């Protein structure tokens, strides 16, 4: 990791992605970790998935998200830290009716930055699942009430 500051309006390589209807802005990338800011519109979600090679976390800045660990639902609001251990299936849902913002991170970085490059603008669920599997993220079928 290089020392310095990523400005609020800045990003790694001046990138921003639309992934499953959410805006992801990469803020820091090293071999050991990857951090991004996310804007999560109301009624959007990340289907249940597993990171077999990474721990993941979220710090909620605004709004409320629901995190599901195979049916075990937890609500998280501003200031809360969500921990999603490597190998643990989880889905991220905004059912609040309002936009949420948060900071995500994974460690180690592995292939997630490259996956987001590939997923930018992908809308076909089957293509999302196919590409994700190539980059060490395994999606499960979304719940019926997503």
Residues listed for the chain: 146
Structural domains of the chain ordered from first start = 15-137 (2.60.120.10)
Mean pLDDT throughout 80-88? 97
pLDDT score of 105 more than 80: yes
pLDDT for 53: 97
- Each residue of 4-39: pLDDT tens digit? 999 999 999 999 999 989 999 999 999 999 999 999
Compute the distance between CA of residue 110 and CA of residue 135 in angstroms, rounded to an integer.
Answer: 8
| Contact (CB, 8 A) for 94 and 45 | yes
pLDDT score of 144 more than 80: no
Compute the distance between CA of residue 113 and CA of residue 74 in angstroms, rounded to an integer.
Answer: 27
């Amino acid at each position: 990791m290089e020392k310095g500051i990523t400005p609020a309006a800045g990003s790694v390589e001046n990138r921003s992605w639309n992934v499953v209807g959410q805006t992801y802005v990469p803020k820091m990338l090293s071999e050991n970790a990857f951090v991004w800011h996310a804007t999560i519109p109301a009624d959007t979600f990340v289907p249940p998935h597993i990171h077999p090679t990474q721990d993941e976390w979220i710090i909620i800045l605004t709004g409320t998200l629901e995190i599901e660990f195979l049916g075990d639902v937890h609500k998280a609001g501003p200031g809360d830290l969500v921990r999603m251990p490597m190998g643990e299936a989880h889905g991220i849902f905004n059912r609040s009716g309002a936009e949420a913002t948060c900071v995500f991170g994974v460690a180690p970085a592995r292939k997630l930055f490259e996956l987001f490059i590939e997923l930018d603008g992908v809308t076909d669920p089957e293509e999302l699942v196919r590409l994700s599997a190539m980059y060490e993220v395994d999606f499960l079928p979304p719940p019926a009430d997503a």
